[in-house]
Amino acid sequence: MKERVVIVNLGTGNLRSVYRAFEFAEGKGDVTISADPEIIRNADKLVLPGQGAIGTWMGQLQRDTRLKGAVLERLNHGPVLGICLGLQALLDQSEENGGQQGLGLIPGKVRHFGSAHQSAGLGEHGLKIPHMGWNKVRQKVDHPLWHDIQDDERFYFVHSYYAEAADQSTVVGESTFGNTFTCAVARNNLFATQFHPEKSQQAGLQLIKNFIHWNGVQ
């Protein structure tokens, strides 16, 4: 039986790309983009994507209490893949948009590269922000979602804010851009990436396949 993959629609970012990559990875699968609480509750696999400003993204979630309830409930059990803002939103808070509360499922905060580079004295050396392009991902632990993906494989990134996880046990992937930062987190049934698997060619499609076959146990 096909897994029911549901991509949560919070109205930001390029959801079609995520949708197409899942369809391609799964063959002719059962992939839906939805903001319907019932469909989200019943998803076998839930995908939480997002691009753009986290304030807009969280605002969409806060505005619709039924949707928020369904997403929070679903985040507690069953495989979840967060992408980009879908990773950042799992943390406690973000510096973006003048300070933004997150969902608090992964301890830590989200910081801007500019402030980190400045305090490290890197600002003047011209690291260009957004961090845009293909960077290496170091796998910190074995995880079913890294199956058949080489350590230090390159994935596509595009972001100006990054996660700073407070609990090292949640860090499953790291990259370096001026400073070393957390680019993948996992905890129980949650796995989230700062990079975009849907735009990372073979390696990205492999990660998506791994997610489709994942039972949600680390």
Q: How many CB atoms lie within 10 A of CB 56?
A: 15
Piece of the chain touching other proteins by CB under 8 A; list 18-26, 27-35, 71-79, 87-95: 18-26
- Min CB(203)–other proteins separation in Å: 10
Phi, psi of 82 (to 5 degrees): -95, 140
User: Does residue 11 touch other proteins according to CB under 8 A?
Assistant: no
- Please say if 198 is a catalytic residue: yes
Q: Is 204 left (phi over 0), alpha (psi -120 to 50) or beta?
A: alpha
- DSSP bridge pairs for 111: 162
- Min CB(16)–other proteins separation in Å: 5
HEC string of 122-133 equals CHHHCCCCCEEE
CA–CA separation, 24 vs 18, rounded Å? 10
- Please say if 183 is a catalytic residue: no
- Min CB(198)–other proteins separation in Å: 6
The encoded tokens of residue 207 equal 């990660």
User: Does residue 178 touch other proteins according to CB under 8 A?
Assistant: yes
Q: Is 191 left (phi over 0), alpha (psi -120 to 50) or beta?
A: beta
Piece of the chain touching other proteins by CB under 8 A; list 14-22, 65-73, 104-112, 141-149: 14-22
Residues 63-122 that bind other proteins (CB under 8 A): none
Residues 115-174 that bind other proteins (CB under 8 A): 126-136, 154, 156-160
Stretch (H or E) spanning 31: strand 30-34
User: Does residue 33 touch other proteins according to CB under 8 A?
Assistant: no
Closest to 102 in 3D by CA, of 178, 166, 147, 34: 166
Amino acid at 61: L
Among 82, 116, 198, 210, binds other proteins (CB under 8 A): 198
- Min CB(147)–other proteins separation in Å: 18
User: Does residue 12 touch other proteins according to CB under 8 A?
Assistant: yes
Residue with tokens 């801007």: 112
- Min CB(69)–other proteins separation in Å: 27
Give the nearer residue to other proteins in terms of CB position, either 23 or 92: 23
- Please say if 131 is a catalytic residue: no
> What number of chain residues touch other proteins (CB under 8 A)?
39
Q: How many CB atoms lie within 10 A of CB 174?
A: 16
Active site residues: 84, 196, 198
> Residue numbers of the site for other proteins (CB under 8 A)?
12-14, 16-17, 20-21, 23-24, 51-53, 126-136, 154, 156-160, 175-178, 198-201, 204-205
